[in-house]
Amino acid sequence: MKIGILTFHCANNYGAVLQAYGLQEYLKKLGYDTYIVDYRPKYITSQYKTFAKELPQGNLPMKVKHLLRNILIIPIRKRRCKVFNLFRRNRLKIFKLNLNNSENDFDSFIFGSDQIWNQSLTGGNLDKIFLGDFPAANGKKLIAYAASTGSLKNISNKSDIIDKLLKFKAIGVREQSLDIFIGNNIPNSIHSLTLDPVLLAGKQIFEKLIKPIYPDTKKKYLLLFQLGYDIHVEKIASQIANEKGLSLVKISSYFESLTDSNIISDASPEQFLAYVKNASYVVTTSFHGTAFSILFEKDFNTIGLSETVSERMINLLLQLGLEDRFYNNSNKINTTEINYRSVNKKLEQLRIASRSFINTAFA
C-alpha cells in the first residue's frame, strides 16, 4: 500500500519535523510504502524566510528598529534553515505530488499529526488540503492521525470541518474535546484519541538520530525549551536549576536573541534530541518538548501560557497520570522525581490503542 502523509513538515520547528519523521518511520515498520507529500503552504514557509520584509504597525523609529533587527538575525536564520533543510533532505522521504491531478498511484492519504486544523496557524481559515479536499485525494482512503485544532475555539465554522470529515474512513485526534465533538457530529465515524507519532514511534526510532552536542553540556544541566520567549518561564527554569545545582541550557524554536547569546536558535533536530536526552531536567512550553521529555524519561515541568495552547498538553499529561507536572500560575510546581515505571505502563496501553486505530483504519 502506498501512503502519502500531509503535515507541517516544511516548518523549521523541532516538533513539526520530528513528528513527521516518527509517523513515516512507524508506517514503514508496518511495511507500507510511505512518503511525506511536499505540500508547502505560504502561511508556514513565510515564517521562515531568511529576511522578513514585513514591518510592524507603529511609528518610524519602531519600524527602523525592527528592520535593523531583521538584518542582524539573517546569519542565525540562515544557519537554522540549513539544518532543517538537511534534516528534510536526509531523513524525510519527500514526494512532490501534483495535488490538482487525480491521476496518481497513492492508495491512501493520512493527515497529521500536528495542528493542521488550527485556523490561527493556517492563515485564518481551515486549509482544505489538510481536510482531503483536493483532486489527487479523490477516490482514496482518507485517514486523520493525531490531528489537532489546538482548541475547538480555533474553529470558526464547525459545520465546514464536519462536512469535510464525512469523507474520512477514520479520524484520530490529539484533544479529547475534539474527539467528543467528532463523535457527537459524525456518529457513525471511526474516531479515537490517538498518541502523537513521537510517542507512538518510540524511543529507539529517535535515539538513532542523535548526534553529539556542544561541549558545555558535559556538565549536568536543566534544558529550557520554549517555542517563543517568556521571561517568566525563564525565571521558573532558573529557580529550579539553582535548587537542583544544574546549569541552564536554553533553546528556542522561534526566538533569535540579540541580547542573550546563551539562547540556542540554530541546533539541528538531531542536536535538539541530544539536548533533551542528556538533560537532567526539562522545563518547556512546548507540546513536543513535553512529549520528548516523557519519551526519554526526564523529570520535567510543562508551563501553560494559554488555554488554547495548553489543552493538548493537559490531555496527554492526564492520560499518563502526570497532570501535576503542568504549571499555569494556579498551582505549585512539582519538581519531585517521576515514577516512569507507572508512566510507561500507561503509555504502552495508549500505544496499543493507537496501533489498533491504525490497523483498523488501513484494513
Q: What does the alpha-carbon distance between residue 247 and residue 242 come to, in Å, rounded to a whole number?
A: 8
Q: Examine the domain organization and report whether 290 and 234 are in the same domain.
A: yes
Asked if residue 147 is part of any domain, the answer here is yes
Q: Examine the domain organization and report whether 334 and 296 are in the same domain.
A: yes
CB 150 within 8 A of CB 121: yes
Is residue 132 left, alpha or beta, with left meaning phi > 0 and alpha meaning psi from -120 to 50? left
Q: What does the alpha-carbon distance between residue 199 and residue 203 come to, in Å, rounded to a whole number?
A: 8
Q: Examine the domain organization and report whether 215 and 236 are in the same domain.
A: yes
C-alpha 16, offset from chain centre: 4
User: What phi, psi does 149 have (nearest 5°)?
Assistant: -100, -5
Residue-by-residue DSSP string for 219-261: S-EEEEEESS--HHHHHHHHHHHHHHT-EEEEEESS---SS-T
CB 194 within 8 A of CB 172: yes
Amino acid at 337: E
CB 296 within 8 A of CB 276: yes
Asked if residue 322 is part of any domain, the answer here is yes
Q: What does the alpha-carbon distance between residue 133 and residue 205 come to, in Å, rounded to a whole number?
A: 32
Q: Examine the domain organization and report whether 148 and 128 are in the same domain.
A: yes
Which cell is 258 given?
540579540
pLDDT at position 227: 84
Q: Examine the domain organization and report whether 269 and 339 are in the same domain.
A: yes
Q: Examine the domain organization and report whether 169 and 269 are in the same domain.
A: no
What's the 3-state SS for 177-232?
HHHHHHHHHCCCCEEEECCCHHHHHCHHHHHCCCCCCCHHHHCCEEEEEECCCCHH
Asked if residue 329 is part of any domain, the answer here is yes
Asked if residue 334 is part of any domain, the answer here is yes
CATH of the domain at 268: 3.40.50
Cβ-Cβ contacts under 8 Å for 90 (sequence gap 6 or more): none
Asked if residue 300 is part of any domain, the answer here is yes
Asked if residue 20 is part of any domain, the answer here is yes
Q: Examine the domain organization and report whether 320 and 257 are in the same domain.
A: yes
Q: What does the alpha-carbon distance between residue 50 and residue 11 come to, in Å, rounded to a whole number?
A: 13
Q: State the DSSP code for 114.
A: B
pTM: 0.93
Q: Examine the domain organization and report whether 173 and 27 are in the same domain.
A: yes
The per-residue pLDDT string of the chain (363 residues; one tens digit each, 9 = 90 and over) reads 999 999 999 999 999 999 999 999 999 999 999 999 999 999 999 888 776 666 667 777 777 776 777 777 788 889 999 999 999 999 999 999 999 999 999 999 999 999 999 998 998 899 999 999 999 999 999 999 999 998 887 788 888 899 999 999 999 999 999 999 999 999 889 999 999 999 999 999 999 998 766 555 568 999 999 987 888 999 999 999 999 999 999 998 765 665 676 888 889 999 999 999 999 999 999 999 999 999 999 999 999 876 555 788 999 999 999 999 999 877 789 999 999 999 999 999 999 999 999 999 998
CB 308 within 8 A of CB 153: yes
Asked if residue 194 is part of any domain, the answer here is yes
CB 313 within 8 A of CB 326: yes
Structural domain containing residue 281: 211-348
Q: Examine the domain organization and report whether 178 and 159 are in the same domain.
A: yes
C-alpha 209, offset from chain centre: 17
Q: Examine the domain organization and report whether 9 and 136 are in the same domain.
A: yes
Domain count, the chain: 2
CB 176 within 8 A of CB 310: no
pLDDT at position 3: 98
Asked if residue 320 is part of any domain, the answer here is yes
Backbone Cα Rg of the chain:
20
Cβ-Cβ contacts under 8 Å for 50 (sequence gap 6 or more): 74, 77, 78, 81
CB 219 within 8 A of CB 249: no
CB 136 within 8 A of CB 38: no
Q: Examine the domain organization and report whether 238 and 311 are in the same domain.
A: yes
Q: Examine the domain organization and report whether 249 and 260 are in the same domain.
A: yes
Q: Which residue, chain included where needed, has cell 456518529?
A: 187
